[in-house]
Amino acid sequence: MMKHYDSYKDSGIEWIGEIPSHWEISKIKYTGFLYSGLSGKSGDDFRDEENPNNRYFIPFTNIFRNTYISKDNFGKVVINEGDNQNLVKKNDIFFLMSSEDYEDLGKTSVLIDDYDELYLNSFCKGLRITNHSVYPLFLNYQLSGNTHKKLISIEGSGFTRINLRQDKLTSTQVLLPPLTEQEQIVSYLDDKTTKIDELIQKKLRKIDLLKEYRTSLINTVVTKGLHSNVPMKDSGIEWIGEIPSHWEVKKLKYVSEIIPSNVDKHIFPDEIQVSLCNYTDVYKNEKIDLQYEFSKGSCNQNEKDKYQLRKNDVIITKDSETPDDIGVPCLITEDLDNVVCGYHLTMLRPIELKGEFLFRYLQSNFTKSYFCVSSNGMTRYGLGKSSIEDLITLSPPLSEQEQIVSYLDDKTSQIDKTIDIEKKKIELLKEYRQSLISNVVTGKIKVVY
């Protein structure tokens, strides 16, 4: 049950306004002291999995994703004898001190379990509460609310990465009710946020099921067709099995031009100024048309003639940090004047197949598995032209390709709309969660038991 407090006073903080009259105003530096995460560690210290001196540490993602630090998400790092590193303790609050955007800067999480030896990731800070009138779990909730996230994020600085200065963080003002009231607020928020999080997880599972159904639908239709009563034959490919007997089986190099791009991100004044279709453009979009905004680049005339994008071209990712992201397709739905295909991508220009059908075929699990197995690399993976050329493709008659494309466009569009509706519901739940936390920890509403 919630209601308003009997009396309020001006907090002196513009974004907070009035607070309950009996609450105190303090600063983070008066609640405890900050300490640093891991320092002096190289990449090898995090990759030496067999080293007997490996110890657990709290990674960036554990803080980012959780209100309370999860014991299921620890990393390992080599801690040699004599290393001067800070150990974390129960009830310590952790801050993300560096981020790519203001939204994540200053994100907090608190440790509620005891560990004999546990460390904190680099680019993070730990806050150890020494003020006995401060309940760490309450302070963590307050710092994670919308209002305090704004107060913290405006103190960040930087361009490619945003960093939070320690002196700015410690000067951030906090609101402190009596200790018993802090404990009541935490109990209330634990209950409410758990229920909200459970609803979010249910919707995320629904989205996963919809995505699985979408992929299964594409797999079936591009390998079996739309009609279940047609004669079938063995495709000769174990992962595909039987296909309609009138379909042909060919390697990709016989049904499409395969054109790896070497146009990198650069702008030289003596070259032709163009728009550049980059890796992220392809990875994040199934289809691209004239409305899409590209980054600027330049190339010579031969490169422009060779890599300019046309309607029905299919672009795939040929380099990535993980093999699972190799071969992700994107369909070009219109002629894109003055737009060229960029580096880390390969253009496929269909000859015998319709571009729309090839695009859907490349979305199937068969081609994803093939590209994943065919990629090479350790820290970065690449897909050679010969591997792309040898991909086995299925070729129905053109009229049947058109029917398949039309059917899949309709069905996937319906699924995508349902997914979008669920995503919007999740965003509303997240907004409500943040609003609830902010209102309770700043005294706008009173928790009553």
Q: What is the C-alpha to C-alpha distance for residues 184 and 403, in angstroms, rounded to an integer?
A: 61
Number of Cβ atoms within 10 Å of the Cβ of 15: 13
Q: What is the C-alpha to C-alpha distance for residues 332 and 311, in angstroms, rounded to an integer?
A: 5
Q: What is the C-alpha to C-alpha distance for residues 360 and 396, in angstroms, rounded to an integer?
A: 13
Contact (Cβ atoms closer than 8 angstroms) between residue 211 and residue 363: no
Name the 3-class secondary structure at 82.
Answer: coil
Residues in the chain where the model's pLDDT stays below 50:
156-160
Q: What is the C-alpha to C-alpha distance for residues 245 and 9, in angstroms, rounded to an integer?
A: 80
Strands (E), 188-308: 232-234, 242-244, 248-251, 256-260, 272-277, 287-288, 295-299
> Do strands 124-129 and 119-120 pair parallel, antiparallel, or not at all (unpaired)?
unpaired
Q: Which pLDDT does position 162 carry in this prediction?
A: 60
Number of Cβ atoms within 10 Å of the Cβ of 138: 24
Model-wide pTM > 0.85:
no
| Residue extents of the structural domains in the chain | 25-176, 248-395
Strand order in the sheet with 339-341: 295-299, 272-277, 339-341
Q: Which pLDDT does position 315 carry in this prediction?
A: 98
Tokens of 92: 């310590």
For residue range 154-167, what is the model confidence (pLDDT) as tens digits? 554 444 456 777 88
Q: What is the C-alpha to C-alpha distance for residues 29 and 33, in angstroms, rounded to an integer?
A: 6
Please name every residue paired with 256 in a beta bridge, in sequence order, or none if there are none.
Answer: 350
Tokens of 264: 């990198």
For residue range 30-65, what is the model confidence (pLDDT) as tens digits? 999 999 999 999 889 998 888 999 999 999 899 989
CATH no., domain 25-176: 3.90.220.20
Torsion of Cα atoms, 331 then 336 then 338 then 340, to 10°: 10
Q: What is the C-alpha to C-alpha distance for residues 329 and 368, in angstroms, rounded to an integer?
A: 10
Number of Cβ atoms within 10 Å of the Cβ of 9: 13
Tokens of 437: 């936390």
**Residues with Cβ within 8 Å of residue 259, at least 6 apart in sequence:** 306, 307, 341, 346, 347, 348, 349
Q: Residue 428: what are its φ and ψ, rounded to 5°?
A: -65, -40
Burial of 21 from C-beta contacts in 10 A (0-12 / 13-18 / 19+): exposed
CATH class of residue range 248-395: alpha beta
Tokens of 438: 């902010």
Helical segments of 145-178, H only:
146-153, 166-170
Domains 25-176 and 248-395 are alike in CATH topology: yes
Q: Which pLDDT does position 156 carry in this prediction?
A: 47
Burial of 205 from C-beta contacts in 10 A (0-12 / 13-18 / 19+): exposed
Name the 3-class secondary structure at 295.
Answer: strand
At position 31, the amino acid (one-letter code) is T
Contacts 24+ apart (CB under 8 A), 368-377: 368/324, 368/327, 369/239, 370/239, 370/327, 371/316, 371/323, 371/326, 371/327, 372/323, 372/324, 372/326, 372/327, 373/323, 374/326, 375/320, 375/323, 375/326, 377/323
Give the single-character DSSP code of 308.
B
